[in-house]
Copies of this chain bind each other. A is one copy, B any other.
Amino acid sequence: MQVALISYTAEPERTVAAAARLSTSPVGAAELLQRMTPEQVASLLQHLVEAGHLSPFEHASFTFAVEGISRACSHQLVRHRLASYTQQSQRYVSLKTLPFITPESIAAKGKLLGSYQAHMEASHKLYREFLEQGVPAEDARYLLPNATETKLVLTMNARELMHVCGVRLCLRAQWEIVELFEKVKIEVHKVAPFIARELKPKCYQMGYCDENESCGLIPTLKELEEDEAVTQGAGAA
């Protein structure tokens, strides 16, 4: 899997900070953008995150070239609607080769791996035969497995990146999309380190885990509240 940041809003963190500062300032954003020190930018961003005032983070957008993810993964990804996608079409691009993704749970078992690879090869062979028999690519692709690699361009703003990473960096998310957003985070870190730091599982954002079955890293809200009850009981005693 390759994830490359190919473009983004220039000075993303300063842009967010200038917009945020504007809302409670008599001075305009163009001037604020010039005037704020790096320390003021950092401290304001910190404050916004702590107070849950996330809308100014929408002013910074990031565009990624993503390659080598499965169609299973891209189907999940595009369910996030506050984003823009352009994806390689299986209707218009007929695949000369069939690059595919292999889950670790399969790669780890030699016997399964062999069957898996053979299935991929057989799928591609049949697909090519169907194309030669005159079946259009848009129909022949019905044979292709979820494992088939795809490429896409993804644009998301920083607020939505925070939300999506909250859900998709959770250890209970599907491994391939976890990897995708780990790489997104690394790319964002190169140009917007504060924002990158806020790309983290929702339990780190919220301070507790709200999953049905916690991975155990972070207490659930129920655990926090029970602790509080104990403390209060202790205080009362």
A-side residues, CB < 8 A to B, are 2, 4, 6-12, 15, 18-20, 22-26, 28-30, 33, 50-52, 55-56, 58-61, 63, 65, 67, 70-72, 74-75, 78-79, 81-82, 84-93, 95-96, 100-103, 105-106, 109, 112, 115-116, 119, 122-123, 126, 129-130, 133-136, 138-139, 141-147, 151-153, 155, 157, 174, 206-208, 210-212, 219, 221, 224-225, 227-228, 230-232, 234
Contacts and interface: CB of A to CB of B under 8 A. Distances in A.
Given A70-B142, A143-B119, A88 B55 contact: no
Contact of A22 (B20, B86, B133, B174): B86
B30 A4 contact: yes
Contacts of A93: 24-26
Given A28-B151, A84-B59, A224-B228, A105 B139 contact: yes
A126 B106 CA distance: 12
B119 A126 contact: yes
B139 A103 contact: yes
A19 B135 CA distance: 28
Nearest to A47: B212
Given A15-B6, A23-B87, A86-B56, A105 B135 contact: yes
Contacts of A231: 227-228, 230-231, 234
Contacts of A4: 30
